[in-house]
Structure 1
Amino acid sequence: MAPIAASRQHFDEIPTVVGLFSAFGLVFSVSLFDWICCQRKSSKSNKTPPYEFVHILKGVDIYPENLNSKKKFGADDKSEAKNKLAMPKNSLHLDLEKRDLNGNFPKTTSKMQSSPNLENVSPKQFSERKKDSVSPDSLKSITSLSSEEKQDKLGILFFSLEYNFEKKAFVVNIKEARGLPAMDEQSMTSDPYIKMTILPEKKHKVKTRVLRKTLDPAFDETFTFYGIPYSQIQDLTLHFMILSFDRFSRDDVIGEVLIPLEGTELSEGRMQMDREIIKRNVRKSSGRGELLISLCYQSTTNTLTVVVLKARHLPKSDVSGLSDPYVKVNLYHAKKRISKKKTHVKKCTPNAVFNELFVFDIPCEGLDDISIEFLVLDSDRGSRNEVIGRLTLGSSAEGTGGEHWKEICEYPRRQIAKWHMLCDG
């Protein structure tokens, strides 16, 4: 009996020992976890981010050397002095340290400083100096330097052409562009990229990557187009569009290069080419075209029926002259858009037939605060759709738009159709 009693006492002591060890392990794990969290927080606070900050203001770059430093915007004093010397007179300079609490810049009034030499000069001497200094030849030279050199010289595009006879593929290598103009007046740089289209069918559309803040971008990108026989190369035309990316609005068009491939011999191998970038040639007609619209106001159901019937004499929106139009319809109530519709795309035609009906519910009685907008756009998969023309119908519209609106208000439940001239988008 004695050994059985001793073993029972031994088993009774085991739970207490296990409880002590588990409590000690829990305290140790919690303290270790807290220590690891504190170390991570301290390392994150002292760590410099390996990336550049996103633009807060357009044209102002933010490169923080240390988040804990007082100057979070800009660079050192030496670099600031260099930037001030490099900035042109007509460019906009933003001093971010002089902003108030709301982030606004204080208004500065420019004072005219009069020098003592000007006060002593007589009117006759001033007029004589003016005649001697300003002449018709000098004016011509000044205007030619400012307008022709700045506008005509848009840079040079370097590329190469090659045909792979084994794979029956046409190869285009966009190498670089040099001497591009600065599209951002604040930072005096551009964010260029290139869109290339093979005309006249526009089946093959490609674009390069965007290179940030450079006027001499080196793309070095190769595009291979399969399924193009060598016999058809002579009938093709390459269209390069050089653009500058804009985060806050539509991308700026720098210029274009048009290369007809007629007479080019690619049988001997790769051909290196360079062409001067010219100003974009937007072939606009005398008008923006016309749109046939039918409207009917149902006063009993308080609905407006809109039928987009036809469009004619639409202008050529690109070099090939083959636009793919469609119509976007926006309904406004008190200058706020409450509904939108759009038609199908009609391929390669300046005279499109839509015949599409839309019914809009009017939120108020009558059409006094209602207006409707028609946007005729050119569909383009490779980039943003360009607006060909615009039309607004409403009580405050002028011309045929106001007359058409007045007629549907006076004669409800009657379908009234009219042609309208489109204005610039």
Structure 2
Amino acid sequence: MAPIAASRQQFDEIPTVVGIFSAFGLVFSVSLFAWICCQRKSSKSNKTPPYKFVHVLKGVDIYPENLNSKKKFGAYDKSEAKNKSAMPKNSLHFDLEKRDLNGNFPKTTPKIQSSPDLENLSPKHFAEKKKDSVSPDGLKSITSLSSEDKQDKLGTLFFSLEYNFEKKAFLVNIKEAHGLPAMDEQSMTSDPYIKMTILPEKKHKVKTRVLRKTLEPAFDETFTFYGIPYSQIQDLTLHFMILSFDRFSRDDVIGEVLIPLTGIELSEGKLLMDREIIKRNVRKSSGHGELLISLCYQSTTNTLTVVVLKARHLPKSDVSGLSDPYVKVNLYHAKKRISKKKTHVKKCTPNAVFNELFVFDIPCEDLDDISIEFLVLDSDRGSRNEVIGRLTLGSSAEGTGGEHWKEICEYPRRQIAKWHMLCDG
């Protein structure tokens, strides 16, 4: 009995020992955690807030995206940087001593200045440079403008072109614009920015930042396009669209500049150019094209099957002469839209083949209060999509739209297809 009692006494002491070690471990963990928190708090209080400001807008490389940040924003050459006026290093940092009691920085009105490259260059230098590097067919002579011409004048765009043979990159520097018209009648100013597209493929689309309340914007932004062989430069065309930002509605189009690169030699180095901004020239044809639609009404299931088949003879919606069409389908019940669908975008074609089927549930027993609207739009990544043409099918529709609707009501469960002329959007 004595050995059994001794072993039992030893087992009774084990929980006590475990509890003591657990208590010590808990106290040590809490103390260590509190010490780490105090160290982090003290280190944060001693650090200066990171108010470093990096100006990434001057020189944005577009392709490829997998480059590191050094290559991505190094759009200027060393030779060009030497010619620019020296800027103090502190200008890229906020001055912490100028903050007020609340820690805020005093507001200063930004002053738009012209690009340093253009301050040192006279108009004569621009004319001489263009004469040596560009063929006469691609340039317009500088002539004196009468008072009537100055009223219609939309301003001048200054830019430069360059080709980097080592990286096989095409560089476009949008410098500034002079003499833009005021698009805001109240403040008599504009909020300009520029969209640029390389035609004819429209693969490369870029735009500058918006400069507030100025008619003499200085952008000074460089866009670099990789993977464009020098032999293909002659076949390209640059399209600049000058717009004014509007917060509450669609941006106002000031004008455009179209630069065919045929005959322009970039082998000798950077080429400085300027062009007069002209009114936007949207090439509209006499018609808006045609759309082939197939409809089938299922009276038993009360559904309407719509097949968007083809579009042909679509008008030219921009200067490239090609559209990127797609069709948006809206179903209306008593003039209220109850459903919407859309097809995929077909790239660069006036004759698109969609072959896409949509099934709509009809909320009523007949089609008297039902109508379908087809909108053919031109897809544009940089701005709002423009309506190429419109088509409405229903009992109250005129022409082929009303005839097509009458046929599907008289012959349910039959797929009926018809070509329809698109009207103005």
Normalization by structure 1: what TM-score? Answer: 0.65
Question: More deviation in 373-382 or 132-141?
Answer: 132-141
CA–CA separation in structure 2 for the residues paired with 1:42 and 1:83: 46
Question: More deviation in 93-102 or 233-242?
Answer: 93-102
Is residue 391–residue 422 contact of structure 2 (8 Å, CA) maintained in 1? yes
The Cα shift of 1:187 comes to 2.8
Is residue 159–residue 272 contact of structure 1 (8 Å, CA) maintained in 2? yes
The Cα shift of 1:410 comes to 2.4
The Cα shift of 1:48 comes to 25
Question: More deviation in 220-229 or 71-80?
Answer: 71-80
Is residue 59–residue 184 contact of structure 1 (8 Å, CA) maintained in 2? no
Change (3 A) 1:394 1:35: farther
Q: Secondary structure at the match of 1:53?
A: coil
Change (3 A) 1:97 1:75: farther
- Alignment map for 1:2-401 (pairs within 5 Å): 149=149, 152-401=152-401
Question: More deviation in 109-118 or 363-372?
Answer: 109-118
The Cα shift of 1:411 comes to 2.3
Is residue 73–residue 96 contact of structure 1 (8 Å, CA) maintained in 2? no
Is residue 115–residue 176 contact of structure 2 (8 Å, CA) maintained in 1? no
Q: Secondary structure at the match of 1:16?
A: helix
Q: Secondary structure at the match of 1:23?
A: helix
Question: More deviation in 118-127 or 218-227?
Answer: 118-127
- Tell me the equivalent position of 1:424: 424
Q: Give the CA RMSD over aligned residues.
A: 15.3
Is residue 133–residue 271 contact of structure 2 (8 Å, CA) maintained in 1? no
Change (3 A) 1:224 1:398: same
Question: More deviation in 157-166 or 397-406?
Answer: 397-406
CA–CA separation in structure 2 for the residues paired with 1:113 and 1:174: 14
Question: More deviation in 14-23 or 408-417?
Answer: 14-23
The Cα shift of 1:235 comes to 1.6
Is residue 59–residue 187 contact of structure 1 (8 Å, CA) maintained in 2? no
The Cα shift of 1:69 comes to 47
The Cα shift of 1:388 comes to 0.9
Question: More deviation in 264-273 or 134-143?
Answer: 134-143
The Cα shift of 1:395 comes to 1.9
The C-alpha deviation readout for 1:80-139, integer Å capped at 9, x for no partner, is 999999999999999999999999999999999999999999999999999999999999
Change (3 A) 1:370 1:110: farther
The Cα shift of 1:163 comes to 1.4
Change (3 A) 1:40 1:61: farther
Give the % identical residues.
93
The Cα shift of 1:337 comes to 1.4
Q: Secondary structure at the match of 1:145?
A: coil
The C-alpha deviation readout for 1:54-76, integer Å capped at 9, x for no partner, is 99999999999999999999999
Change (3 A) 1:185 1:342: same
The Cα shift of 1:191 comes to 1.7
After TM superposition, where is structure 1 displaced by more than 6 Å over at least 4 residues in a row? Answer: 1-147
Change (3 A) 1:104 1:280: farther
CA–CA separation in structure 2 for the residues paired with 1:124 and 1:87: 27
Q: Secondary structure at the match of 1:293?
A: strand
CA–CA separation in structure 2 for the residues paired with 1:391 and 1:179: 42
Question: More deviation in 5-14 or 235-244?
Answer: 5-14
CA–CA separation in structure 2 for the residues paired with 1:102 and 1:22: 49
Change (3 A) 1:61 1:166: closer
Question: More deviation in 339-348 or 49-58?
Answer: 49-58
Is residue 63–residue 74 contact of structure 1 (8 Å, CA) maintained in 2? no
Change (3 A) 1:380 1:356: same
How many residues end up aligned between the 2 structures?
A: 425
Normalization by structure 2: what TM-score? Answer: 0.65
Change (3 A) 1:289 1:144: farther
Change (3 A) 1:13 1:256: same
